[in-house]
Amino acid sequence: MPLHVRLVNDADVDAVVDLFLQYLNFYGQEVPAEQAREFLLSRRDAGDSVLLVAVHGDDGRADDVVGFAQVYPTWSSVSLGPVWVLNDLFVDPAERGDGAGRALVRATAERATAAGAVRVAVTTAWDNMAAQSLYESEGFARDADFIHYAHVTPLAD
């Protein structure tokens, strides 16, 4: 069955919220569905993020959504240019192995290039070997120049 990547539309929101909740759970976060929905729609509608979906089938119906990616366009002072941060990528576990994750990564890179981004950045968990393999096979390289730190705070109640 053909696989397409496109921007999220309003008909996709329920499917994307479900995938987003699974993604958050994978990273040990549990939030109410309405909070997840509000977050996704707020980011998308404010233009803070680019929200993509991978869909099976020629008609691209919302009930054929199998994965999503959320990308945050930002800026790099060192590069004096735009950078896209591929912050969220998730494919329905039952649909993995069909190329949806790869299609989302490629679509992100293509859109970033078209937008003039100097690079796409991505992070993943140390033990997420499947994601690391995907990113490396698509030309991403581990950062050898910088050490990245994070100050982690819990989600607000």
pLDDT in tens, 47-62: 999 999 999 976 666 6
CATH topology (fold) of 3-137: Aminopeptidase (3.40.630)
- The full set of domain ranges for the chain reads 3-137
**What's the predicted TM-score (pTM) here?**
0.90
Digit-coded pLDDT (tens) for 123-146: 998 999 999 999 999 999 999 888
Question: What DSSP string describes the chain?
Answer: --EEEEE--GGGHHHHHHHHHHHHHHTT----HHHHHHHHHHHHHHTS-EEEEEEESSS--GGGEEEEEEEEEEEETTTTEEEEEEEEEEE-GGGTTSSHHHHHHHHHHHHHHHTT-SEEEE---TT-HHHHHHHHHTT----SS--------PPP-
28 has a pLDDT exceeding 70: yes
Digit-coded pLDDT (tens) for 62-118: 669 999 999 999 999 999 999 999 999 999 999 999 999 999 999 999 999 999 999
